[in-house]
Amino acid sequence: MHSRPERVADQVRQEITVLLSRHVQDPGIGFVTVTRVKVTADLQHARIFYTVIGDEKAKTETAKALVRVNPFLRRQIAQRINLRRAPELEFFYDDTIADAHRIEELLLEVQEERRQYELANPPEPEPREPEPEPREPEPEPGEPENEPGEPAEIDPDAQGDGDPGTDDAPAAEPDPK
């Protein structure tokens, strides 16, 4: 089970997200995403981390707007979450997403540099070991051994294709009738 500060932090995150998207009418609040909330063990302080879609100007405008709407958000949190005392809300811009994006860009740069280096300096082929020369098949037992390059001995009785209609067929034995 999660600790009580973690459960309260999750509730605060959900309520702040709903309040910012549906109930806060301040024009300075742009596209805000609440990324995480940390609540102290005594539940008196809540650090709310957020990101903003946009440039530096949108980031600073949103930071100013969050300071302006902080009392409204705290009152709403007090009404919506059953706590004796509503926590003090502190907003912090969350740089982790921007940092992760920057790290990804750096990794892509390194990958491209490596590719360019490999194109400019192709790896040398590894020296190949000479293949062993093919060996003559060993004769079967009972077969006469021939020297390499010497024709095999042919049994004169074994010649022919077995067709009785040609001259190369072995002589047929007469039929004993």
What is the average per-residue pLDDT within 82-87?
87
Domains of the chain in sequence order:
4-95 (3.30.300.20)
Q: How far is CA 131 from the centre of its chain?
A: 40
What is the average per-residue pLDDT within 4-31?
89
- Cβ atoms of residues 91 and 50 within 8 Å: yes
What is the average per-residue pLDDT within 31-40?
92
What is the average per-residue pLDDT within 90-98?
87
Give the mean pLDDT of the chain.
Answer: 81
Q: How confident is the model at residue 132, as a pLDDT?
A: 76
Instruction: Using alpha carbons, select from 26, 28, 146, 4 the residue that is nearest to residue 82.
Output: 4
* Predicted confidence band of residue 117 (pLDDT cuts 50, 70, 90): confident
Q: Where are the beta strands (DSSP E) in 26-109?
A: 31-39, 45-53, 88-93
d(CA 25, CA 27): 6
Q: How confident is the model at residue 161, as a pLDDT?
A: 58
Q: How confident is the model at residue 69, as a pLDDT?
A: 93
Q: How confident is the model at residue 29, as a pLDDT?
A: 85
Q: How confident is the model at residue 72, as a pLDDT?
A: 93
Task: For residue range 121-145, list pLDDT tens digits in order.
Answer: 887 777 777 777 777 767 677 665 5
Task: For residue range 143-170, list pLDDT tens digits in order.
Answer: 655 555 555 555 555 555 555 555 555 5
* Predicted confidence band of residue 174 (pLDDT cuts 50, 70, 90): low
